[in-house]
Chain A
Amino acid sequence: VPVFPWHSLVPFLAPTQSD
């Protein structure tokens, strides 16, 4: 049975950082 990591389930929404 596959096991998935918790962080796969919620989106990664990194705000754009100023360079």
Chain B
Amino acid sequence: SSPAPVPTPNVVRVVKNANTLGIAIEGGANTRQPLPRIVTIQKGGSAHNCGQLKVGQIILEVNGISLRGREHKDAAKIIAEAFKTKEKDHIDFLVVDPG
């Protein structure tokens, strides 16, 4: 039987078209979930409006910044700052479906 296909990461662009990003994340270095995973997507948030982010996806990078090896608080801060900054009107998430 053929080996299970390895899920390939893909970039999802979330346009900041709402007051909140509207995702809840779980995970970070030194926890059972080593990379942040999306556990909730709130209706009306930018992530929900984008329509391409899904619950269960694992976030590898934010605007090219790797989240590998980062503690939960550090990863959450990077995402929050990416949403807050006025330099860009979007956030690029490199995500992968759970393998």
A binds B: no
